[in-house]
Structure 1
Amino acid sequence: MKNLKTIALAFVVALSTLAVTAQTKKIDIAKSNINWVGKKVTGQHSGTVGFKSGALVFKKNVLTGGTFVVDMNSLTATDLTGEYQGKLNGHLKADDFFGTDKFPTSTLVFKTIASKGNNVYTVTADLTIKGITKPVTFDITVKGNTATTAFNVDRTKYDIKYNSKSFFESIGDKAIYDEFELTVNLNF
């Protein structure tokens, strides 16, 4: 019986040690941002989209997890103003692109994380856009209370095919490239 108590006590101590070493750091959504660039044959557009929530998980100062929710209704072009900005924003939020009425959020959930050294990690995560989940892989750098990453997303994997040359071969100079670029800056 004494051995059983000793084992149980050791188990409780081990669990409490794990709980202490795991730390979830919520992002500051006002200071964190996502910048995007979408390119087409005749140029490009750029803009921002905001976070609804997000957190990184650390154990002993090593990145072990992350979950983020993006507010797709905050999607806006920053390279245009006035009427043209309104038209582009409306089109990006329409069903041709992100369908924000039906899909007001997108999510990113870290699945595997491998350290590359010097606070750089390779992450494979599940990215959900328009209710479709696909894996994405990217490097993320963590420094103090900040983290940064940049990666491309193939929009056609999320049923965003508008003016894609992959689906409309004769589109010519109206083609929009399948991949868009994301640059993410996190503050927590």
Structure 2
Amino acid sequence: MKKMFLPALLVAALFAAAPASAQKKVTPGTEKAASASYKLQPQLSTLGWLGKKVTGQHNGSVQFKEGDVLVRGSQIVGGTFVVDMNSLKVEDIKEQEYNAKLVGHLRSEDFFSIDKNPTSTFKITSVTPLKGDANGNNATVAGDLTIKGITQKITFPAKVGVKGGVASASGTATIDRTKFEIKYGSKSFFESIGDKAIMDDFTMSFNVIAKK
């Protein structure tokens, strides 16, 4: 069974789709007095990952531990999210033995070093309006993603909204694992690895809900 890198983190970090009025560009820290904190609902939110290699791919999930979304009026202006890395699961491998092997490898020093780094975090630094997106996204979210104690800036499109005391967003973020010192099986660092190569990029699909 070829071992495969799959993510985690993330990412990162956001909130399920809901109808929303036009989002203005906002940066956390502005007009703090008018901002309200909405609590992330881990039981209503999902975070899935997909990692690819030359010979195939694997997918699974991780769970949010806690978080909050900052809302001003009908707009999301910030937020911080914590992911429980110990919840990492592989969902495409049904054989228990091979599933456990891959999960164990992802938990190891080769990948996420989960025993030493039990959580990953994402902090929103800005939310910018996005128009004309073919997938229906209405905002570009930027923020700081921390995996294995290493923090990098990432940006991704999302569908965000605030309605009836619920802040939500959905979308997919693409993350370069090598920026977090996860280089196992990367052709960028091991040129002769051939068909055992694992892609540097993995994706995190999120569907997140926070309530007032």
Per-residue CA deviations over 1:6-39 (Å, capped at 9, x if unaligned) read xxxxxxxxxxx963x4121111101111110000
What residue in structure 2 maps to residue 149 of structure 1? 171
Q: Could you tell me how far apart the structure 2 residues matched to 1:83 and 1:47 are?
A: 16
What residue in structure 1 maps to residue 192 of structure 2? 170
What residue in structure 1 maps to residue 157 of structure 2? 139
What's the offset of the Cα at 1:90? 0.5
What residue in structure 2 maps to residue 14 of structure 1? none
What's the offset of the Cα at 1:116? 2.6
Q: Could you tell me how far apart the structure 2 residues matched to 1:175 and 1:181 are?
A: 17
* 1:71 counterpart = 2:84: yes
| TM-score scaled by length of structure 2 | 0.77
Q: Could you tell me how far apart the structure 2 residues matched to 1:18 and 1:98 are?
A: 35
**Native 8 Å contact 2:49 2:202 kept in 1:** yes
Q: Structure 1: give runs of 5+ residues left out of the alignment.
A: 1-16
Could you say if the C-alpha distance between residues 119 and 57 of structure 1 is closer, same or farther in structure 2, counting changes exceeding 3 Å?
A: farther
**Native 8 Å contact 2:137 2:157 kept in 1:** no
- Of the candidates 80, 94, 97, which is equivalent to residue 83 of structure 1? 97
Of the structure 1 ranges 139-148 and 75-84, higher mean CA displacement relative to structure 2 is found in 139-148
Q: Secondary structure at the match of 2:193?
A: helix
- Equivalent AA in structure 1 for residue 121 of structure 2: T
Q: Which has the higher strand share?
A: 1
Instruction: Give matches, 1:42-121, under 5 Å.
Output: 42-81=55-94, 82-116=96-130, 120-121=138-139
* 1:24 counterpart = 2:46: no
Could you say if the C-alpha distance between residues 102 and 58 of structure 1 is closer, same or farther in structure 2, counting changes exceeding 3 Å?
A: same
Q: Which has the higher helix share?
A: 1
Q: Could you tell me how far apart the structure 2 residues matched to 1:176 and 1:119 are?
A: 29
Q: Paired residues, what number?
A: 171
Identity rate of aligned residues, in percent? 49
Q: Structure 2: give runs of 5+ residues left out of the alignment.
A: 1-30
| TM-score scaled by length of structure 1 | 0.86
Higher relative contact order (CA 8 A, sep 6+): 2
Could you say if the C-alpha distance between residues 30 and 166 of structure 1 is closer, same or farther in structure 2, counting changes exceeding 3 Å?
A: same
Could you say if the C-alpha distance between residues 174 and 106 of structure 1 is closer, same or farther in structure 2, counting changes exceeding 3 Å?
A: same
Runs of 4+ in 1 over 6 A off after TM superposition: none
Q: Which has the larger radius of gyration?
A: 1
What's the offset of the Cα at 1:119? 7.8
Q: Could you tell me how far apart the structure 1 residues matched to 2:129 and 2:104 are?
A: 40
- Equivalent AA in structure 2 for residue 85 of structure 1: N
User: How large is the RMSD of aligned CA atoms in angstroms?
Assistant: 1.7
What residue in structure 2 maps to residue 186 of structure 1? 208
